[in-house]
Amino acid sequence: MKSVTPKELQGNLDNLLDEILRTGIPLEIDRGGKRLRIVPVEKLEKLQNLVYRPHVILGEPDDLIDLNWEQEVNLDLP
């Protein structure tokens, strides 16, 4: 969780509020040893921030089922 001072909050309020809404992560304000927290009311879906990347798997996804890495990886650990 990010923590800021009241002065930092005042100078960057719009950006900090946008970050809270975008990420769903609360912001903590430290005011003279006491802590306050700004928390979004609505919970974000965990998968909401995933970016669609259609070209990550090149080829047929079904080919991944029988993929064998034994020739590529040395599993003889010390």
0.85 exceeded by pTM: no
Maximum C-alpha span of the chain: 60
CATH fold for the domain made of 2-40+49-64: YefM-like fold (3.40.1620)
- Residue 5: closest CA among 34, 25, 45: 34
Per-residue pLDDT of 16-25, as tens digits, reads 999 998 888 8
Per-residue pLDDT of 35-53, as tens digits, reads 999 999 988 777 877 888 8
Reading the block at residue 66, the tokens are: 């029988």
